[in-house]
Structure 1
């Protein structure tokens, strides 16, 4: 559906440019944007590779295991429907750890695996309580080191690309806590309606 919306907006823009006589500016902007996208992507690849390497070093050093043990009691309370030793727990914890380090691209495959495991656990196509909670938390994603945003700021020659770390921690902490509160409010209100 989103693809159709974007295609429709692009067609409207092109038709408007044809009638308005600004087709040359549209073509120029199109090629400049494509060039900027390639340059930005190449710059982001280097930063993401660096942080993925750091994650691999942290995994080999046992730091991720320590973080997993640290977050396990919280995750078990957030997802009471999932057994402690179920594979979904490992994927959820890995997803949260990757998001904490601002590696949304690395977190996505683990998030998909977690959802698949939770779907198998529930046995239905309807979203379970755990799936809804996970989606809310994954969307709000607590981030301590926003590596992708720092990389983009570095790519565009920001004077201080890391100055957003403090505000990112505060904003994502508030969004994560809000996601948990709203998730629980909706869950308990649905139980009262039943």
Structure 2
């Protein structure tokens, strides 16, 4: 889908440039965009390598394990339908920890792995589960303590105060995360209200129950 959108934009731009006789401007914009992309990428590499190194040091020092333990109760509250000890929990914790440090590129692989593990719990493979929707919302609006990627971009473009967005970014991501959690709880409740009632037989099989057995001696009393 994304590839089709970008291809459509390029084709539309090419057609309009050809019709209006602006092919020179179109060509110049293509090469300028490619050059800027390479320049920004090199600027991001240095900062991301630095923060990934800091994250590795934090991992070896036990900081990430501490963050994961602190986030454990939060994850259990946000993902009540994921069994305790399931592999998805570990990937979700890694994704949230990386997002807290502003390492979106490092958080993405962990988010993908978490989605793959959540899919193993999905009875309907064509429809996202509430847990998958929760993860997507939190990954998009995650609280960010240090926006490393944005700082790198501002530094690359010569900002006088690259880290000046830390406070505003933290405030914005806190508000966005709270809104995402509120919406998630609301839609989970609506989902439960709209779900058809579970048949008694299915409920008994799910909970491990069964039909009540007659009391001892009932058969003998009946025969007598």
Deviation of 1:123 after TM superposition, in Å, equals 4.3
Deviation of 1:188 after TM superposition, in Å, equals 0.5
| TM-score, reference length from structure 2 | 0.84
Match of residue 145 from structure 2: 144
Match of residue 11 from structure 1: 11
Deviation of 1:130 after TM superposition, in Å, equals 1.0
Q: CA RMSD in A?
A: 1.1
Match of residue 91 from structure 2: 91
Deviation of 1:128 after TM superposition, in Å, equals 1.5
Match of residue 191 from structure 2: 190
- Deviating beyond 2 angstroms after TM superposition, the runs of 4 or more aligned structure 1 residues are 121-124
Structure 2: stretches of 5+ with no match in the other structure:
196-224
Match runs of 1:45-60 below 5 Å: 45-60=45-60
| TM-score, reference length from structure 1 | 0.96
Question: Greater share of helix residues, 1 or 2?
Answer: 1
SS in 2 for 1:121: coil
1:13-53 per-residue CA deviation (whole Å, 9 max, x = no partner) reads 11111111111111112111111110110111111111000
**Structure 1 residue 2 and structure 2 residue 13: aligned?**
no
Match of residue 119 from structure 1: 119
1:44-66 per-residue CA deviation (whole Å, 9 max, x = no partner) reads 11111110000000000000011
1:71-127 per-residue CA deviation (whole Å, 9 max, x = no partner) reads 101111111111221111110000000001111110011101111111112344132
Structure 1: stretches of 5+ with no match in the other structure:
none
SS in 2 for 1:43: helix
> How many pairs align?
194
Quick one: higher RCO (CA 8 Å, sep 6+), 1 or 2?
Answer: 1
CA distance in 2 between counterparts of 1:16 and 1:57 reads 52
